[in-house]
Structure 1
Amino acid sequence: MSNVAGATTSREEEIAFLALEQVLGVDIKLADAGAGNKKPDGSWLYPDEPRRQGIVEVTSPPAASLMREWARAKKEGRPQIESGSIALRWNELAQVCAEMFAEEWAHENLDKLLAHPADERHLFLFSRGHTGGGHYFYRLSDSYADGSNERVDDLVLPHGISDVWFRGRAQRDIDQPLGSTELWLARFQTGLGWHRYVVRIEERQLPSPNPRIADDDVPAGWRLLKDRSIKPAES
C-alpha cells in the first residue's frame, strides 16, 4: 500500500493491523513518516521486548481490471460478480505461493521490507477477488474441520523475511450486518512453519468501503477509527 504524511489507514490496512494486533498482542503505528511509498505500512514494538521491532507491508495481487468492472457494475446498478476459472492444484499451495512471490508486484513489496532495519519483517497478503489469489488464500487458512487433509508444504522465504500472512475467508454475523466479522488467517513463520487463526473484526473499527464499489450506509461519526499516527515523542 502507499502512505503519505498525515495519512490514515486504508480499509485493507486496518483489517490487517487489527488482525495482527489480536494475534501478536502489539500496538501498530503507521510507518509512513512522510516517505510516501518508500516505507512499509506499519511498525510496532513488543510490550515484553521493547527493543524488538516488527514491520509489515500490506498488499494484494494486482486486480485493476476487476476493480474497474465492480465500479462499472455499481454505477449501472448491476450485481458485482467475478468470472473466470481457477485451477484446483490440490496439494500444491506452497508452489502457488512460490510462483506468486516470484512476480514483480511481490518482489517490490518484499524488497521494501528488506530495505528497512527490523527484527521481524511481515508481509500481509489479501486478495481483491476469488480468482486473483483468494481461492488459494482461503484454502491456506482453512482449519479442515471436515476431516479433509490438504498437504501444505513449508515456504522458502527470502532471507530476512520472518512471516507471511494470508487473509482467508470471512464470515459476517448475519443477525448484525454492521456488527462483527470472523476472519480466518494463515501465517507462515520462518523456522516455525504454518499457523492458523480466527480473529473477530468489528465493522465500526474500519474505514468506509471504497465508495466506487460499495455504499456506506451508516450515520456520520458512527465509525471509531484508531489513531495510528506516530507522536513526536515516539519518533
Structure 2
Amino acid sequence: MSSRSAFSSQRSGRSPTAGRSPSGHRASSTTARGVRSTSNSVRASSSTARSVSNSTRPRATASTNVADLFHAKYGRMDTEAELERRIIKQLESELIKVRKQHEKSMGEAANLQRLLDERGREHDKVSRKFHNLRTQLDDLNRQVAATKDEKVQVGMLVERQKEQTFAASGNLSRYHLAVKDLHKKVTELTEQKTNAEAANAALRAEIKKLNQEAATLEQGNLALQKQMDKLNELMYLKFD
C-alpha cells in the first residue's frame, strides 16, 4: 500500500516531502518530474511491446476457447503487474534519492540559515562598531574645533606675551644699565670706605700717639707742679 500511495503521489505530481522547505520542494518536484517521465517511458515501452506481441501473435480462430482467452488476459495482467512492480521499485528508488536529496537540501538550508544568522550577528557587531567610531569621530571633531579655538586664543596670548617680553626686554636693558651704574657706585663707595677705614686707622694711631704724649705731658706737669710746690715752700720759708 505504501508503494502504491507513493506511486499515486508521484503520478499526481506531489512529493511526499513537499512543504518542508523551498529548496527541498524544488528538488522533490524536479525529481518527481523525472520519475513521471521515466514511468511514462516505461508504460509506452510496455504498450509497444504488447502491440508488437499482438501483431506477431496468430489470429485467433473461431474455435478459441474461453480458457485460452482467460489465460491470455491474465498473462497480460501478469505482464502489466510485473511492469507496475518494476515501476514501483524504480519509483521507490527515486523516492529514496529524493528523500536523501531533501535531507541534504535541509542540511544545506540549515547551514545557510546558521551562516545567515552569523552574518547578521557580524553585521550587528559591525554596525555597533561603526556607530561607536562615528561617535568617537564626532567627539574628535568637537575636540578639534575646541582645539582650534584654543589655538587662536593661545596665539593671541603669545602675541601679548611677545609684546610684554619686548617691553620687558627694554626694561631689562634699562635695568642692566642701572645695575651697571650701581656696581660702579658700589665700587666707588667701596674704595671710599677702604680709604676712610685707612684714614680712621691712621687717626686712631695718631690719637693713640697723642694720648700717650698727653699722658707723658701730664706726668711731666705733675712733676713740675711738685717742683713748683717745693719752690713755693722754700720761698715762703725764706721770707719768714
TM-score category, normalised to shorter length: under 0.3
Higher helix share: 2
| TM-score, length basis structure 1 | 0.17
Q: Say which one has the larger Rg.
A: 2
